[in-house]
Amino acid sequence: MAQVCRRHGIATSMAFRWREEFGLTARKAPELALVELADGGENEPPALAALRDLVRPPDGMVAIELDDGRRVFAPAGATPAAVKRQLAGKEKAS
């Protein structure tokens, strides 16, 4: 655990706290997920990059990364371009 934490710039105590907060201390088989980090985050700390994908989209939704680094959930099948256009229109109106 300590070696993995050092590699990603995370304090070991924080990793143990997250483990407890996310209910990973229960004696059950762990669920593993494939995580791919988007390119272009060279200024982003490794710990923040790893945390970005902890929140999974609700059923029937997909995560879409916006150009400014924000991440939104949209209905499955929605294209990233369409979601970005819709958000741009709403942000201009407000």
**pLDDT higher than 70, residue 75:** yes
CB contact burial 16-48 (16+ within 10 A = b; e otherwise) = eeeeeeeeeeeeeeeeeeeeeeeeeeeeeeeee
Tell me the three state secondary structure of residue 48. Answer: helix
**pLDDT higher than 80, residue 86:** yes
**Could you state, in order of their start, the residue ranges of all structural domains in the chain?**
2-93
Q: 74 phi and psi, to 5 degrees? A: -135, 160
Neighbours of 82 (CB within 10 A): 12
Look up residue 88 and give its amino acid: A
Q: Tens digit of pLDDT for each residue in 4-59? A: 888 888 888 888 888 877 777 766 666 666 666 565 556 666 666 666 667 778 88
